[in-house]
Structure 1
Amino acid sequence: MDDSKRMVDTYEVKHAIHVGDKEILFLVDEKITSCPYIVCNCSWDNPLGVDQYSDAMGSADYLEMMTEFTERVRKQLEAVKAERNKITVPLQPFTLKHCIPSDYKENIENKVVIIRAECLRPEYRTTDKQLVLAIGGFGVHGNSRGRAVYTVNLYSGKESRWNRENILGTLKPEYMPDWAKERLKQIQRERQAKQQKCEQER
């Protein structure tokens, strides 16, 4: 059993709820009598995926800080609901039947692959979060010792890093939705234009 405590500076994380793109933390350091309770946000939207803390608020009033903590969680839930309501494609997640299972001998660069649903937050286990174009990283190559796979999400266009084991497999062409076909063409055009611009500037 791991008895280690999660710490942020001298404060211990007593409560943590991860919803959407943020984790809301309730921190305690009772040795600091003037401000023993802190509530802050934690996110990982950076190339290294390290913890980034923001919007810290502290007080000596436990009830005030617990109210702030629960209010932030509520706002995150509302934000995720609003985000989902804007999605214009079917949300039913892709499963093993929709893909050619991941084979570590296979090169997946420039292929549309499916992120394993279990690797996503429960609130994000939907089609729009699963379909990505593998664009680079050592992990895209067959029999590679590297694990990193850099991707572009077909729905949002957001670039992310995954490990090769996070990929369920390569999407079978017959299961490619029309919206994904259009977005794939757009992403490929944008990447090609960017590459040509870089070559001209050399």
Structure 2
Amino acid sequence: MLETDWMYKDYQITQAIDIHRRMVIFGECRSDDKPTAFLCGYYEPLLLKDAYSEMQTGDYLEMMELFLQRVQGQIDKVRAEQQEMDVPLDVITREMCVSYQENTGIRGQMVAIDPMRFRPEDRIGPKQIGYVIADQTPSKNSMVFRRLYDGREMCCFYGDILGVIKSEYQPDWAKEVVCQFEKNEKNRKGETR
């Protein structure tokens, strides 16, 4: 839980819990004309403008109860997402990887990203494991990888990589995804010739 001191209109946001890509916030109005006014809502920092949604006001106990319900709702969403994954969630550690040299090509390798680079609820194996698509980006100190669980392409710095996952620690589901990806790439390259 974050203790904060930012304002939303007349309300000082005193508590915020950041889970599942949005914050549940709690605030109080400290003006003389509203001594018992409290607020609960959602906050999402966006690129152009911060977004506040589902803002409600009331007395302390009802807003604190709503705050706790909304936090529980976010927890339930994370739990449901993880249960749908249907693969082991075990974290990949540095000991399960072979370190790499920054000047050594790692394109086409299965790598693990340091779990500390992710949000706390995303520090699970399926979100760490990627297949390196390009190991030299224009900045020369980062790489592009495809997260094997959901196919999302992402960029990260070499310092974010734990290493190339040792074959004995590569999950079977991830090996299958790599085989399918490589097969699709061969077919695609064959069609363009």
Q: Please give the range of the TM-score, normalised by the shorter of the 2 chains.
A: 0.7 to 0.9
Where in structure 1 are there 5+ consecutive unaligned residues? none
Instruction: Tell whether 2:179 aligns with 1:177.
Output: no
Separation (CA, whole Å) in 2 of partners of 1:189 and 1:9: 55
Pairing 1:114-153 to 2, within 5 Å after superposition: 114-136=112-134, 140-141=135-136, 146-153=140-147
- Comparing 162-171 and 183-192, the one that deviates more: 183-192
1:25 counterpart SS class:
strand
Say how many residue pairs are matched.
188
Aligned residue for 1:40? 42
Offset at 1:54?
Answer: 4.7
In the alignment, is the contact (CA less than 8 A) between 1:25 and 1:42 conserved in 2? no
Q: Which has the larger radius of gyration?
A: 2
Instruction: Tell whether 2:150 aligns with 1:156.
Output: yes
- Comparing 10-19 and 152-161, the one that deviates more: 10-19
1:171-202 per-position Cα deviation (integer Å, ceiling 9, x unaligned)? 223432221121123344566778899x8xxx
Pairing 1:98-109 to 2, within 5 Å after superposition: 98-109=96-107
CA RMSD of aligned residues (A): 3.8
Separation (CA, whole Å) in 2 of partners of 1:29 and 1:101: 53
* 1:78–1:51 Cα change, 3 Å: farther
* 1:171–1:11 Cα change, 3 Å: farther
Where in structure 2 are there 5+ consecutive unaligned residues? none
Separation (CA, whole Å) in 2 of partners of 1:109 and 1:73: 40
1:123-177 per-position Cα deviation (integer Å, ceiling 9, x unaligned)? 33322111012334xxx339x8555443321112233343332211112234322
